[in-house]
């Protein structure tokens, strides 16, 4: 960790690409999801849920790292999405990120797909 930035947000360590595919909001976090960057993912998840989009797909194929804070952001979104009749689907889990979910048991509370295409409803796949 860069000690010059310890304890402060490090710009550019995480960005989140958001797009709508049919009735599904697809969020692609790129970089490192941790205590310092969690809000960068939490904000678009909350915006999607506030807009009534309760089916969320988080494409983790470009996520390099996820700690417990990042996991909690996803768990919080899952609870809100489930309460709204939707859910949070994860796709493209890299081994280092998948391991965090396995160790904590969180992999059993999410629907995990190998690919983004598999996570999207049939009517959205061209």
**25 secondary structure, DSSP code:** E
- Using one digit for the tens of pLDDT, what is the confidence trace for 66-91? 999 999 999 999 999 999 999 999 99
- Using a 10 angstrom Cβ sphere, with 0-12 exposed, 13-18 middle and 19 or more buried, the burial of residue 9 is middle
Joined together, the tokens standing for residue 125 give: 């796949």
Query: Can you give the pTM of this predicted structure?
Result: 0.87
Nearest residue to 83 via CA among 108, 54, 58:
54
100, 71 contact by CB (below 8 A):
yes
- Using one digit for the tens of pLDDT, what is the confidence trace for 8-65? 445 579 999 999 999 999 999 999 999 999 999 999 999 999 999 999 999 999 999 9
DSSP string of 31-57, one letter each residue = EEESTTTHHHHHHHHHHHHHTT--EEE
Question: In whole angstroms, what is the distance from residue 27 CA to residue 51 CA?
Answer: 14
> What phi and psi, each to the nearest 5 degrees, are found at residue 29?
-75, 135
């Amino acid at each position: 960790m860069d000690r010059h930035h310890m304890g402060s947000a490090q710009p550019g360590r995480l960005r989140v690409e958001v797009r709508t595919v049919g009735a599904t909001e697809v969020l692609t976090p790129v970089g490192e999801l941790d205590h310092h960057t969690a809000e960068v993912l939490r904000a678009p998840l909350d915006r999607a849920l506030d807009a009534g989009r309760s089916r969320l797909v988080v494409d983790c194929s470009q996520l390099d790292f996820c700690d417990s804070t990042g996991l909690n952001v996803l768990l919080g979104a899952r609870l809100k999405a489930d309460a709204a009749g939707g859910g949070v689907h994860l796709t493209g889990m890299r081994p280092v990120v998948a391991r965090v979910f396995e160790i904590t048991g969180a992999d059993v509370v999410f629907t995990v797909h190998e690919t983004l295409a598999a996570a999207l409803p049939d009517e959205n796949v061209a």
